[in-house]
Structure 1
Amino acid sequence: MIDLKGKVAYITGGSKGIGFGVAQKLTGAGMKVAISGRTLKTVKKAAEYLGDENNVLALESDVTKLEDEKKAIQRIVETWGQLDVVLANAGVGNFAPVDELSDEKWHQMVDTNLNGVFHTLKASVEPLKKSKGYYMTLASLAGTNFFASGAGYNATKFGVVGFTQAAMLDLRKYDIKVSTIMPGSVATHFNGNEPDDTDAWKIQPEDIGDLVLDLLKMHPRTLPSKIEVRPTRPDKK
């Protein structure tokens, strides 16, 4: 997939943060990009910043619902005739000691972070078989490093890493590449953060976009299936 011009990508949770940063880089490389989120008005506003309607598609989809993802993929294929790249990026984080973590917040993370990546793959796998495409998940360093008050988040991100690696083994016979990206601290609105100058030490969303481009431009024979990425130097607090 070294020549990216005209290729079609789908990014869940693409209206802000990492998803939006990746979308900016992919449209800049000449790709057609569909972004989705739960609120269409918000997604449309983000799409306006990315490019004209011939190259950017705004979709309303809740990844916790398989039917939503099927409709989103159908719309993409009907609009552009193909699907080459999928980034399952949508995610939430609720942090509390396990004895204080509510059932509602636990299931919100499981439904979005873990069930969501399955739904996105399930909905997109047939078009990806046709294009010999690329499926990526956005995991986290929390998918290999556990921490206090992270029981629910750790559980889902450990699951995403395991799911993606197993899917990679299942799908490579179709020449579908599958990778999981595991960032450390990223300057986004995640968990109520409002990015500002104090986040300058963190990975920036566009840095993940550059990483995705690097993966797409890699020779088809080579697959970095699990990528850990972290700030060069941590906060000095």
Structure 2
Amino acid sequence: MSERVAIVTGAARGIGLATTRLFLEEGVRVAMVDRDAPALREAAAGLDGVLALERDVSRPEDAVAIIAETVAAFGRIDHLVNNAGVADFGPIEETDFARWRRVMETNLDGVFLCSQAAFPALRKTRGTIVNIASISGLRASTLRVAYGTSKAGVIHLTQQQAVELGEYGIRANCVAPGPVRTKLAMAVHSPEIIAAYHDALPLNRYGSEEEIARAIVFLSSDKASFVTGQTLSVDGGFEATGIGLPALRPD
């Protein structure tokens, strides 16, 4: 095992779990954070070099505890991956303030709180922050007024972190996934939605959790040592398509 230590929030499933496994393959110890205790215990079972922390990133006291417990267990923090998030899709007129805050408190407040709490430890190691946004934070779409706005905030927060923390050697970058073939997405995406996404994506397929994880681990690594303040869209070319009218595409 190397000395490096990563914190991955939202680690019980999906992109967070895939990122945890990839870090472990590289010899990085991982504090796995999630508020879903049963799922977290199941995900951490059988994994060596992990610390499972049942915490809610939207609570300031939990963010502080995540950092303290990780340092107590592993002695240092080199990488923070702010992956925890919630999705709530619906029309603007049906998005009341309670729904808005439920999304914001995890997707945006959680990123701020965990990063703020981790700063002293990351300063010691000249560490990295990778925030997980979404293609919905880069291009608007229907039914995502809270979700898309929260992810746009994450992208700007990442730039703020990069310009303010760079003098301490801390790099901050953002990954914006496009459509990803998670169990949740496949459960709620109808055949019509899947076909529409395939038509809109130049690579003509959904991404995988592992493909997103590779981008996260790369941005955390020394291979990206001069990269900071950037948003990497891992989206199969979705952002690049613009309007992308099907009638204007070649057969």
Residues paired across the two proteins, number? 228
Cα-to-partner distance string for 1:7-56 (whole Å, 9 max, x where unaligned): 1000010000110111110001111011111132321211114x22xx11
Q: Which runs of 5+ in 1 are unaligned?
A: none
Match of 2:11 in 1: 14
- Counterpart of 2:108 in structure 1 is 114
Amino acid in structure 2 at the alignment position of 1:150: R
What letter corresponds to residue 141 of structure 2 in structure 1?
A: F
Bigger Rg over Cα: 2
Letter of the aligned partner of 1:221 in structure 2? F
Using the alignment, how far apart are the partners of 1:221 and 1:26 within structure 2?
Answer: 20
Matches within 5 A, 1:40-55: 40-49=37-46, 51-52=47-48, 55=49
Aligned to 2:249: none
SS across alignment from 1:193 = helix
Alignment correspondent of 1:162: 156
Is structure 2 residue 57 aligned with structure 1 residue 57?
no
Q: Please give the alpha-carbon distance, in whole angstroms, between the structure 1 residues aligned to 2:36 and 2:146.
A: 25
Distance 1:11 1:165, change over 3 A: same
Identity over the aligned pairs, expressed in percent?
29
C-alpha contact (below 8 Å) 1:87/1:136 kept by paired residues: yes
Secondary structure of the residue aligned to 2:176 is strand
User: What does residue 207 of structure 2 align with?
Assistant: 203
Shift of 1:210: 1.2
Cα distance in 2 between the residues matched to 1:108 and 1:192: 23
Q: Which amino acid aligns with 2:235?
A: R
> Of the candidates 219, 223, 237, which is equivalent to residue 218 of structure 1?
223
1:227 aligns with 2:224: no
Q: Look up the equivalent residue of 1:28 and give its one-letter code.
A: E
Gapped runs of 5+ residues in structure 2? Answer: 199-203, 247-251
- What is the aligned partner in structure 2 of residue 188 from structure 1? 182
Q: Which amino acid aligns with 1:202?
A: Y
Distance 1:91 1:81 in 2: 27
* CA positional deviation for 1:224: 6.4
Farther-moved stretch of structure 1 (159-168 vs 212-221): 212-221
Aligned in 2, Cα 1:100/1:71: closer, same or farther, shift over 3 Å? Answer: same
2:166 aligns with 172
- Partner of 2:125 in structure 1? 131
CA deviation after TM superposition for structure 1 residue 220, in Å: 2.4
Q: TM-score when scaled to structure 2?
A: 0.84
TM-align CA RMSD:
2.4
Range with greater deviation from structure 2 (101-110 or 215-224): 215-224
In structure 2, give the amino acid aligned to 1:231. G
Contact 1:15 1:37 (8 Å CA) reproduced: yes
Q: Partner residue of 1:153?
A: 147
Tell me how far 1:145 sits from its aligned partner. Answer: 0.3
Judge which range, 33-42 or 87-96, deviates more: 33-42
Contact 1:10 1:83 in 2 (8 A): yes
Q: 1:194 to 1:39 in 2, by over 3 A?
A: same
* 2:181 partner SS: coil
CA gap of 1:59–1:187, structure 2 versus 1, over 3 A, is: same
1:150-179 deviation digits (Å, cap 9, x = unpaired):
111111111111111111101000000100
Are 1:140 and 2:134 counterparts?
Answer: yes
Match of 1:211, as an amino acid? A
Tell me by how many angstroms 1:223 deviates.
3.5
